[in-house]
């Protein structure tokens, strides 16, 4: 019985060993494919932030495959040669039992036809490996394969109005007769077929080369000018590396900021555990610096809130502005909080409302990554330099944004990124 069983026993043992070895080599091949595709896309982006098939040193192999040589040049003539070097550095070349191939082009990659990107790269890595033990079962060798697709995005592609929710309907809505006019573009990260909703008559107008880009689609697409670009690649949060400030003890223990009607007060940076509350027709002035708010901000009817060089971090509670509040705020122009005006904590999902009077001015980043933001700001006479990043957003009045806010994170939405 043992003699009869020994062959299949060894075959089963060999199958386990060989499967483990094949898995190990497949992971190595995937690492090589990821590195090669990323390097080729990054090299193209460095050459030109909007690479195409006519860009010098950027290669396109749309309808064919390029096979890397066994010994890639250490001084590559184009971005694909750079990718071959990275594949070699990870242990894979086109020689013997290994093969590394590239495809590249503009528009939609063959492995991601529903995604539109500026320039794409597809890398395929394969290796034929011998079977050690399971060869006794008649399988002397097997082939492992790996594939990676990368793309490039222009640094300006993200624009200055960005919604992050990946699936929400009406991720960006323009209600009634509201109009959003942007000199720096709109990006909606939702893959919903109704990611943007302008059916109520609202409009979105961008100034070329700025554009409206949507991962999914839109309701009322005819109200977007120039026409929206749909089916684009997803974007990660451009401010994901922005850390909250250091939070100390309460500044307002003895004197909370609760302004009554017609009150006036000037405050300094600090930690306001009771929030900032300005009643009807009051006036609150903020001196330059970083403000930590633990119980939200409330600006009442006809109240005034102003400050230059200020950053407001909302740890909890959100922001509410009502009744034609007059708000004039500008973010710092230098330092680690350069350009950051409002930052609502990533764990705070409280909806915020930044809807003031017709003269409202907010120059800086309005960052509400986990919350819905309702916004109106700027005028056609005095457009703002504003970047809005929110989970979802609604525009309920005419808003004019001239350009994106300048921060240490400006442009991080551009570059090479992995698609699959």
3-class DSSP assignment, residue 115: strand
Nearest-angstrom CA–CA distance, 137 and 12? 9
Nearest partner of 180 among 394, 405, 413, judged by Cα: 394
pLDDT of residue 412: 54
Q: What is the DSSP string of 379-413?
A: -SSS-EEEEEEEEEEEE-S-EEEEEPPP-TTTTTT
Give the pLDDT confidence of 109-130 residue by residue, as tens digits. Answer: 898 877 777 899 999 999 999 8
Q: Determine what percent of the chain is predicted with pLDDT higher than 70.
A: 91
pLDDT of residue 410: 63
- Name residue, tokens 């957003």: 393
pLDDT of residue 14: 67
Mean pLDDT on 77-103: 97
Structure tokens at 187: 């990006």
Mean pLDDT on 380-391: 82
3-class DSSP assignment, residue 75: coil
Peptide bond into 147 cis (omega under 30): no
Radius of gyration for the alpha carbons in the chain, expressed in angstroms and rounded: 27
Give the pLDDT confidence of 141-182 residue by residue, as tens digits. Answer: 889 999 999 988 765 556 789 999 999 999 999 987 889 998
Nearest-angstrom CA–CA distance, 272 and 284? 14
Give the pLDDT confidence of 328-372 residue by residue, as tens digits. Answer: 999 999 998 999 999 999 999 999 999 877 668 899 999 999 999
Q: Residue 218: count other Cβ atoms within 10 Å of its Cβ.
A: 26
pLDDT of residue 10: 67
DSSP conformation class of 136: G
- First-to-final CA distance of the chain: 50
Nearest partner of 171 among 153, 155, 193, 154, judged by Cα: 193
Give this prediction's pTM: 0.75
Mean pLDDT on 275-293: 96
Give the pLDDT confidence of 210-248 residue by residue, as tens digits. Answer: 889 999 999 999 999 999 999 888 888 888 889 999 999
Mean pLDDT on 392-401: 90
Structure tokens at 54: 């006519």
């Amino acid at each position: 019985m043992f003699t009869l069983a020994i062959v299949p026993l060894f075959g089963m043992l060999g199958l386990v060993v060989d499967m483990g070895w094949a898995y190990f080599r497949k992971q190595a091949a995937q690492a090589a494919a990821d590195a090669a595709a990323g390097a080729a896309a990054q090299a193209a982006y460095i050459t030109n932030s909007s690479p195409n098939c006519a860009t010098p040193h950027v290669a396109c192999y749309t309808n064919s495959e390029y096979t890397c040589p066994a010994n890639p040049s250490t001084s590559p003539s184009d971005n694909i040669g750079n990718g071959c070097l990275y594949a070699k550095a990870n242990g894979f070349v086109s020689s013997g039992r290994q093969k590394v191939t590239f495809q590249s082009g503009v528009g939609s990659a063959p492995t991601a036809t529903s995604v539109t990107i500026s320039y794409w790269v597809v890398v395929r890595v394969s290796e034929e490996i011998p079977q050690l033990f399971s060869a006794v079962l008649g399988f002397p060798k097997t082939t492992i394969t790996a594939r990676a697709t990368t793309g490039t995005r222009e640094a300006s592609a993200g624009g200055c109005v960005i919604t992050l929710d990946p699936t929400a309907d009406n991720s960006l809505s323009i209600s009634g007769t509201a109009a959003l006019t942007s000199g720096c573009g709109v990006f909606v990260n939702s893959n919903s077929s109704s990611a943007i909703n302008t059916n109520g008559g609202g409009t979105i107008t961008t100034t070329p080369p700025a554009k409206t880009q949507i991962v999914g689609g839109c309701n009322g697409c005819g109200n977007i000018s120039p026409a929206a670009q749909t089916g684009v690649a997803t974007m990660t949060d451009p401010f994901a590396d922005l850390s909250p400030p250091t939070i100390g003890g309460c500044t307002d223990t003895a004197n909370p900021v609760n302004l009554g009607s017609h009150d006036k007060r000037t405050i300094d940076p600090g930690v306001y555990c009771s929030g900032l509350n300005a009643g009807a027709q009051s006036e609150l002035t903020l001196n330059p610096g970083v403000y930590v708010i633990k119980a939200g901000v409330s600006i009442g009817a006809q109240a005034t809130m102003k400050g230059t060089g200020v950053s407001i971090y909302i740890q909890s509670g959100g922001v509410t502005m009502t009744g034609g509040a007059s708000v004039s705020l500008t973010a710092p122009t230098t330092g680690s909080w350069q350009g950051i005006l409002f930052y609502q904590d990533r764990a705070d999902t409280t909806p915020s409302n930044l809807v003031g009077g017709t003269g409202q001015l907010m120059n800086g980043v309005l960052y509400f990554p986990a919350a819905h933001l309702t916004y109106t700001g700027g005028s056609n006479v005095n457009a703002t330099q504003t970047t809005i990043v929110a989970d979802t957003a609604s525009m309920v009045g005419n808003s004019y944004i001239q350009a994106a806010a300048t921060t240490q994170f400006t442009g991080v939405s551009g570059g090479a990124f992995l698609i699959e």
